[in-house]
Amino acid sequence: MSHLVKPHGGGELKPLRLEGAARKTELARAKALKQVKMSSRETGDLIMMGIGGFTPLDGFMTKADWQGVCDGMKTSSGLFWPIPVTLSTDDESIKDGDDIALVGGESGEIMGTMKVTEKYTIDKAHECMQVYKTTDIKHPGIKMVMAQGKYNLAGPVKVLSDGGFKAKYGAQFMTPAETRAAFEKMGWSKVAAFQTRNPMHRSHEYLVKIAIETMDGVLIHSLLGALKPGDIPAEVRSEAISTLVENYFAPNTVIQAGYPLDMRYAGPREALLHALFRQNYGCSHLIVGRDHAGVGDYYGPFDAQKIFDEIPKGSLETQNMNIDWTFWCKKCGGMASRRTCPHTKDDRILLSGTKVRAMLSEGQDLPVEFSRPEVAAVLKKYYASLTKEQNVKIELKGHSAA
Amino acid sequence: MSHLVKPHGGGELKPLRLEGAARKTELARAKALKQVKMSSRETGDLIMMGIGGFTPLDGFMTKADWQGVCDGMKTSSGLFWPIPVTLSTDDESIKDGDDIALVGGESGEIMGTMKVTEKYTIDKAHECMQVYKTTDIKHPGIKMVMAQGKYNLAGPVKVLSDGGFKAKYGAQFMTPAETRAAFEKMGWSKVAAFQTRNPMHRSHEYLVKIAIETMDGVLIHSLLGALKPGDIPAEVRSEAISTLVENYFAPNTVIQAGYPLDMRYAGPREALLHALFRQNYGCSHLIVGRDHAGVGDYYGPFDAQKIFDEIPKGSLETQNMNIDWTFWCKKCGGMASRRTCPHTKDDRILLSGTKVRAMLSEGQDLPVEFSRPEVAAVLKKYYASLTKEQNVKIELKGHSAA
C-alpha cells in the first residue's frame, strides 16, 4: 500500500505514450500525416506527457486553458497549472479537426500524433508578463515564447517516443511510475525532490542533507533537457553528482535521476511547475532554495518560496521545503544558512559562478569548504577539455542549483 | 489569528492556578486543611497543571484514569495521556470527599488544594512495567514510583504557587500562554521544541539548526525540575545554552525557556509526554533524537522515535521530528548524522560523557568539533567550582540531551 502523494489531480498517473503494437500502428499512421515541427521546449513537454510527468494533461492546451493558466494558474477545467503547455506552428494550412504528426525539431523523428481541436492565436507579451513577469527579450524564457509560431494548436496527443533519453541516460532516466516504485521499495513516503541543473557543490549537498535528516529520502532530480548556453552539460553534471553521492552520502538515502524538460527560467511560476510534476514522480516535497529556477535579476531571491503561500490551499499535495542561502561559515566552522549563522559576510566562503569557472578553467583547486575535491576534479577535467573559445563563452551560474 | 497547534484536547489552555483575591481566599482556607506532602515529582506536576502545561487535566488522576493511562495511554474520558499524573500519600485518615492542602515536600509551602474524589491503591509494579518497561529499582523512574505512598488520591486541584520558578528563573520560566504569545509575536507557526536537560554541545546545536532550517523557529526548552544526581544543575546549563545562543544562533530563530517538571526517565512514554505538553506550549514539533528521555540501557536508542508511529493517529497534534545520532565527521568535514554520513566510526568525533567530564574536571579543552569553546568554558568553570568529592560522584550523561 502506497503512502506516497497522489498524482496531480488526484487520479492515477496518466502516461500518454503508446507501446508495443499500438505504438507501431500509430507510427505507421503518423507517417502519412501532416508534420508539425516542435521546438526543443515543446519536445520536452511532449516527452513529459508521454511518461506521465504532466499528469493529468491529455495534450497541448486550448486557448481557454492558456488564458486560465496565464491569468489564474488554472486550466478551463479548474485544474491547478502554473505555466502554459502549448504547441505552436506557423503552418497556415492546419485546421481544426486535422490529425498531425509531431516531429522533433532537431531529430526529425516522429514523436507523437495529435488531433487538432483548436487553432488559436495568443498575446505572447501577455503570457510573458503573466508567467515571467517581464517581456525583456534577453530573458531566455521570453526568447522561447517570442520564438513560438504564429498559431497555437491544441488537442489530445499520443506519444510515440521518449526522445532517446532512456537510451542516452539509461537507469537515470526514470519515469514517474519508476520513481514511485523505487520509493515504495525503499519504504519511503516523505521524499524531497532536489531540482538541479548544475553540479552540486557543498551548499547544495547541505540542502539535500537537511532534507535527508528530516525525511525518508531525497530524489536528486536533474534537468536533462536543454539549458541556456554555458550551463554544464548533463553528462558532466551527472558524473559530478554521482561522484558526490558515492563519497559523501549514506546508502539508501538518495536516488539520482533526471527528467526531460527544458528550463524555462520562469522563477516562481516554474518552481510551482517543478513541485507539480514532482508530485507525479511521488515526491512529497520540493526543496526550494535561493533564486529557484531564476535567471539574472528578474526575480527576488525568495520569490519562488513565497509563491507557494500565495496559491490556493490544496492546489498541490507536494509542499515546498524552503531553505535560505547556504554557505560555509568560518566562525560556525560548518555549513550554514542565513537562518542558522549569525556571523557576517566576511566570515562566509562565497564564490561567484564566474570566479568558480575561472578557477576551474585555470586548473586551480576550489576551497574544500566550497566544493568536494572529487567533484571539483570532474569539473576541472571538463573545463580542460574545452577549447579556449568555448571557455570564454561559458557563463557559469553561481550558487543557484535549480 | 493564531496558526499555532491547539492545546491538547482541542480546547483552550486550562491553567488551574488561582490569582489575586481568589488565590488569597483559597490560601487562607487551605491553611485550615489537612496537609498532604508532595514529592518533588508531584510538586512539578502540580505546578505544570497550574500554568496550563498539562491542559486539559483538572487534577490528579483517578484509578480508572491511572489504569487507562498505564494500559492504553488513555484516561477514562478517552483523552490521550502516556504517563500517570498521580498524587500519593501514606495518610490513613484521608477519606473521599476531604478537602486537602497540597504542600511542597521540600519547601513546606502550601501550593494548592484538592477535593479528594477517590482514594485508591495501585499495583506499582504494573505501572512500572507498563510505563517504564522495567521494575529494576536502579532505574530512577522506578525508584520514584516505588517511593510513592500506599494510597493514591484523585481529585480536582486549585494551584496557589509556581514553586518559586518564576522568582528563580525570571523570564526563562515561561508559561504555555507566554510561549504562545511569543511565537505569535514572532509570526511563528511551525515551531520545534528542543527538550534538554543537559548543556548543548555541537551535536545538539546541529539538531536545533536542522529544525531552524526547515521551520519558523525553535523553543530550546530546558527541564528546570529535579534531575538524577550528577546531571548539570539548571543554572549552569542555562548559562551554557545562553552563551551558545548568543554566539552561534541568528537572531529571532530560537527562544530559550524552561519548564518545571522532574525527569521520569521513562524513555518512549516520556517522549510522548514531552510532545503532549509542548503542544500546550504551542510547539508543532518535538525534536526526538537518540535515546530521548532515556537512562542507562533500558530503552533502544530509537524506541522514543518509534512509539510515535505506534500511537493512534490524531492522538497528538504535535509531531515528532526524528533525528539520528549526530556528530562531527572528519571525512565529511562537518556535522552529520548516521543518515547523512557514509563514513566509519573512526572518522567521527565521539566522546563519552565520562570522558567529557574527566576532561572538563581536569581543565582540559574539549575539541572544537565537539563543543563550542565558549560553552566548554562555562562548564569548566562549573567543574572547577566543585570539590573533589562532588566531582567524583558526578556521572555525566554522554550524548543524549533530552
Record the cell numbers describing residue B316, joined without a space: 497528538
Contact B335 A334 (CB under 8 A): yes
Nearest CA in chain A to B368: A333
What's residue B398's pLDDT?
39
- Judged by a CB distance cut-off of 8 A, whether residue B252 touches chain A is no
Cα B347 to Cα A210: distance, rounded to the nearest angstrom: 20
DSSP B268-325: HHHHHHHHHHHHHTT-SEEEE-TTTT--TTSS-TTHHHHHHHHSPTTS-SSEEEE---
How many residue pairs bridge chain A and chain B with CB atoms within 8 Å of each other? 63
Q: What is the ipTM of this complex?
A: 0.88
Provide, as residue numbers in chain B, all residues whose Cβ is less than 8 Å from the Cβ of A325: none
Among B323, B339, B369, select the one facing A250 at the smallest CB separation: B339
CATH number of A20-163: 3.10.400.10
pLDDT over 90 (residue B146):
yes
At B232, the pLDDT band (50, 70, 90 cuts) reads confident
Closest CA to B152 of B76, B94, B86, B104: B86
Q: What is the pLDDT of residues B56-105, one digit of tens each?
A: 999 999 999 999 999 999 999 999 999 999 999 999 999 999 999 999 98
Q: Which of B204, B205, B214 to mutate to test the interface with A (most CBs of A within 10 A)?
A: B214
Q: What is the pLDDT of residues B342-365, one digit of tens each?
A: 999 999 999 988 889 889 888 899
- Judged by a CB distance cut-off of 8 A, whether residue A213 touches chain B is yes
Query: Degrees (nearest 5) of the Cα angle B315, A319, A248?
Result: 100
Record the cell numbers describing residue B116, joined without a space: 479528594
What's residue A396's pLDDT?
41
The tens place of each residue's pLDDT in chain A, 402 residues long, gives 468 999 999 999 999 999 999 999 999 999 999 999 999 999 999 999 999 999 999 999 999 999 999 999 999 999 999 999 999 999 999 999 999 999 998 899 999 999 999 999 999 999 999 999 999 999 999 999 999 999 999 999 999 999 999 999 999 999 999 999 999 999 999 999 999 988 999 999 999 999 999 999 999 999 988 776 777 888 899 999 999 999 999 999 999 999 999 999 999 999 999 999 999 999 999 999 999 999 999 999 999 999 999 999 999 999 999 999 999 999 999 999 999 999 999 999 999 888 898 898 888 999 999 999 999 999 999 999 986 666 655 544 434 556
What's residue B320's pLDDT?
96
- Please identify which residue in the block is written with the cell numbers 498521580: B86
At B402, the pLDDT band (50, 70, 90 cuts) reads low
Q: Under 8 Å CB-to-CB from A249, ≥6 apart: which residues?
A: A208, A212, B340, B342
- Judged by a CB distance cut-off of 8 A, whether residue B250 touches chain A is yes
What's residue B234's pLDDT?
87
- List the domain boundaries for chain B: 20-163, 167-259+267-401
pLDDT over 80 (residue B400):
no
Provide, as residue numbers in chain A, all residues whose Cβ is less than 8 Å from the Cβ of B341: 250
Cα A237 to Cα A221: distance, rounded to the nearest angstrom: 11
Name A114's bridge partners: A100, A157
Q: What is the pLDDT of residues B380-395, one digit of tens each?
A: 999 999 866 666 555 4
- Judged by a CB distance cut-off of 8 A, whether residue A324 touches chain B is yes
Q: Under 8 Å CB-to-CB from A110, ≥6 apart: which residues?
A: A27, A30, A31, A35, A101, A102, A103, A160, A161
Nearest CA in chain A to B344: A250
What's residue B389's pLDDT?
61
Give the residue numbers of B marked as catalytic: 197-198
pTM of the predicted model as reported, rounded to 2 decimal places = 0.91
Phi, psi dihedrals of residue B371, rounded to the nearest 5°: -145, 145
- Judged by a CB distance cut-off of 8 A, whether residue B78 touches chain A is no
Q: Which of B339, B343, B368 to mutate to test the interface with A (most CBs of A within 10 A)?
A: B339
Cα B265 to Cα B136: distance, rounded to the nearest angstrom: 13
Contact A338 B250 (CB under 8 A): yes
Cα distance from B209 to chain A (closest Cα, Å)? 6
Phi, psi dihedrals of residue A305, rounded to the nearest 5°: -80, -45
Contact A338 B368 (CB under 8 A): no
Contact A337 B369 (CB under 8 A): no
Report the pLDDT averaged over residues B180-187. 97
- Judged by a CB distance cut-off of 8 A, whether residue A368 touches chain B is yes
- Judged by a CB distance cut-off of 8 A, whether residue A252 touches chain B is no
CATH number of A167-259+267-401: 3.40.50.620
Name A120's bridge partners: A152
Contact B210 A212 (CB under 8 A): no
Bridge pairing between strands B319-322 and B285-288: parallel
- Judged by a CB distance cut-off of 8 A, whether residue A338 touches chain B is yes
Number of other CB atoms surrounding residue A342 within 10 Å: 19
